[in-house]
Amino acid sequence: MPCTVIAGAFWGDEGKGKIISYLALKDKLDFCVRTGSVNAAHTVWLEGKRYALHMVPAAFVYEKCRLLIGAGANLHVAKFLEEVEATKVKNRIGVDRQASIIEEKHSIQDKTSAHLKGLGTTGWGVGPAIEERVRRTAKLAKDIPELQPYLTDAAAEINNAIDAGKKVLLEGTQGLMLSLFHGTYPYVTGRDTSASAICAEAGVGPTRIDDVIIVFKSFMTRVGAGPLPEEITKEEALKRGWFETAAGTGRERRSAPFNFELAKRAVKVNSATQAAVTKLDSMFPQCQGAKTYDELPNEAKQFINEIEKQIRIPVLLIGTGPEALHIIDRRK
Ligand code: IMP
Ligand code: MG
């Protein structure tokens, strides 16, 4: 453990929220740092209750975990305050003074730009907000009165925690195929989503990372426009049990089978050391709720073996249902 990065492999919605919530409870994480912005929703199911988190780190489920928003993140003030209330984390969440602020005007710019609309953005305004940050006219967290109680130096907290041997998790958003640098440009989000970028946004250098967990879903989905290899129709997706709607925007997700070439690339560019595969129960319904590898039907084991053979790193976490604890944990 000590410092682990969680990154998505495809176009987001791989189930990072679920994996993080499991690790928070199981490993008793000390710190969890959210990167990215409000466009990404991380879904966490806990005791039958569903949370779609746009700002609060998914590790909130473990009540001793200190939660942080990194300096490179882009914060939506109203959504942040609403989620702090809903998750009751007021006393243990901090925002880096230098996190930039996304405002209503950015959302309007996003929704009224024909170009951005054509890319199928979420409409939250993340692209325009980052543009403003690059122009160096953006507001920062330290400029906002409502955020004063939360302000901190997140990078200092995280590095001190790593020095002290605490368990730190850096929470990435979206997936490599949506990376501004490595994804399917121009059908990408406004930032790099790779493991290195997650570290940079949090303020941790590469030599301090022990593990990079790359999260795959058993099939691929994408919302918005842009290429999706071997895409299937909605009818076919419904038949296979793969049809999903977006946690953040409610839009229908497109879907396609797991792609080994993209998976290998995601492992390479993220320097992933281990993998998680979620929603195995959507591929093989008999897996629902399984807690051990031995319980899996042969075809499900073969699928996991094939992934391991191709990506050459172990699949150590396997999701078998929506709840945080519906997981097969093959770590030592
Ligand atoms: P933007 O990030 O809102 O600018 O949208 C750019 C592209 O990234 C669009 O295709 C969005 O659907 C996609 N996107 C952004 N955030 C997420 C996410 O959290 N999950 C899935 N797709 C996302
Ligand atoms: Mg999502």
For residue 227, is the peptide bond before it cis, meaning its omega torsion is within 30 degrees of 0? no
Query: In angstroms, what is the span from residue 7 Cα to ligand 1's centroid?
Result: 15
Ligand 2 centroid – CA 247 distance (Å): 6
The arithmetic mean of pLDDT across residues 161-174, rounded, is 98
Count of Cβ atoms closer than 10 Å to residue 229 Cβ: 10
Of residues 242 and 248, more confidence is placed in: 242
Nearest CA, atom 8, ligand 1: 189
Ligand 2 mean position, distance from CA 164 (Å): 32
The confidence score (pLDDT) of residue 1 equals 63
Which numbered atom of ligand 1 lies nearest the CA of 224? 10
pLDDT tens for each residue of 7-60: 999 999 999 999 999 999 999 999 999 999 999 999 999 989 999 999 999 999
Express each pLDDT in 270-287 by its tens digit: 999 999 999 999 999 999
Nearest atom of ligand 1 to the alpha carbon of 251: 12
Ligand number nearest CA of 184 is 1
Confidence of residue 332 (pLDDT cuts 50, 70, 90): confident
Residue from 172, 216, 211, 223 nearest 194 by CA? 172
Task: Find out whether 17 and 269 touch, Cβ atoms under 8 Å.
Answer: no
What proportion of the chain, given as a percentage, has pLDDT over 90? 96
Checking if the pLDDT of 191 tops 80, the result is yes
The band of 308, judged by pLDDT with boundaries at 50, 70 and 90, is: very high
Active-site choice (30, 42, 182, 326): 42
| DSSP-assigned beta bridge partners for residue 49 | 46
- Tokens at 110, concatenated: 């996003």
Tell whether the model's pLDDT for residue 81 goes beyond 70: yes
**CA-CA-CA-CA torsion sign (116, 118, 121, 122):** positive
What mean pLDDT value characterizes the chain? 97
**Residue range 256-267: average pLDDT?**
98
Judged by its nearest atom, the ligand closest to the C-alpha of residue 18 is 2
Residue closest by Cα to atom 1 of ligand 1: 121
Mean pLDDT on 185-194? 98
Report the distance separating Cα 85 and Cα 88, nearest Å: 5
Q: CA torsion 211→84→92→4, rounded to 10°?
A: 0
Q: Is 13 a catalytic residue?
A: yes
Is the pLDDT at 101 greater than 70? The verdict is yes
133 C-alpha vs ligand 2 centroid, how far in Å?
A: 24
Is 42 a residue of the active site? yes
Task: Report pTM.
Answer: 0.97
Helix axes 298-311, 260-270, angle to 10 degrees: 50
- Protein residues with CB under 6 Å of any ligand 1 atom: 11-13, 39-41, 119-122, 124, 126-127, 173-174, 178, 187, 189-190, 223-224
Ligand nearest to the CA of residue 42, numbered in listed order: 2
| Per-residue model confidence (pLDDT) at position 249 | 79
